[in-house]
Amino acid sequence: MAKKEMDTRFAKFGTVSFTGISQVNDFIDHLEQGKLMGTRCTASGRVYFPPRAHCFESMSSDMEWFEVTGSGKLVSFSTLKYAPTGFKEDLPYTIALLDFGDCKVFGRIDPAVPETELAVGMEMRAIPAKTANGQLTYVFEKA
């Protein structure tokens, strides 16, 4: 019997991906096309970011993709001076959380934005990007 081909698109996400297979692997294609997307349950209307394949409210798997657009408020951030295994080359880098109202998004600040220009509450956008090692990601830029 031929070996079944695995959908491991998610392995392309972030400097080091720890997940290969996921039922929301289309997230990767959207990111590749320049869109940061979450899922919305067509039954309950509940919005999910990070995207999910299942809604715990309606128990449905009937999800549609929506694009995270506009700007979000910077909830908090931290610049790492040490990194876990696999991320040393990226140092220093700043992780952050943005609040878009309907959903929050965790990620990294664009390395071009100096930490001194960051302040909790400022408006930022999430922009699809590539990591230094050529993987897919998104970064937060000043709105």
Partner 1 sequence: MGKVGIIGVGQSRFVRAYPGSVRELAFEAYREAMADAKMTPRDIDATVICSAPEYDKQRSPAGVIAEYLGLNPQPTFYAETLCSSGSTGLKLAYALVKSGLHQAVLVLGFQIMSQISSEESQERMGRGADIQWESPFGTMMPAYYAMHAQAHMAKYGTTPEDLARVRVKSALYGQFNDKAMIRKPATLEQFQDPEHFFSGPVATPLRGGDCCANADGSSCLIVASETVARSFSDKPVWILGLGAASAPVNMAGRDNLTGLAVAEQAGRQAYDMAGIGPERVDVAEVHDCFTIAEIMAYENLGFAKPGEGPALIGAKETYKEGRIPVNVDGGLLSKGHPIGATGGSQFRTIVLQLRGEAGEMQVPNPAIGLVHNIGGVGLYGNVAILGRE
Tokens 């309950």 belong to 44
CB of 31 to partner 1, least distance (A): 12
Are 142 and 122 in contact, with CB atoms under 8 Å apart? yes
CB of 88 to partner 1, least distance (A): 8
Whole-angstrom distance between the N-terminal and C-terminal Cα of the chain?
53
Task: Figure out which of the listed residues 35, 58, 71, 103 binds partner 1, where binding follows CB under 8 A.
Answer: 103
Task: Figure out which of the listed residues 10, 28, 36, 40 binds partner 1, where binding follows CB under 8 A.
Answer: 10
Task: Figure out which of the listed residues 106, 123, 133, 143 binds partner 1, where binding follows CB under 8 A.
Answer: 106
Cβ neighbours of residue 7 closer than 8 Å, sequence gap 6 or more: 21, 25
Q: Should residue 116 be labelled a site residue for partner 1 when binding is judged by CB under 8 A?
A: no
- For the chain, how big is the Rg over CA atoms in Å? 16
Stated as kind and residue range, the H or E segment containing 127 is: strand 123-130
Site for partner 1 in 65-94 (CB under 8 A): 75-88, 90, 93
Alpha helices in the chain (DSSP H): 26-32
**Residues at the interface with partner 1 (CB under 8 A):** 10, 13-19, 22, 49-50, 75-88, 90, 93, 95-97, 103-108, 115, 119-121, 135, 137
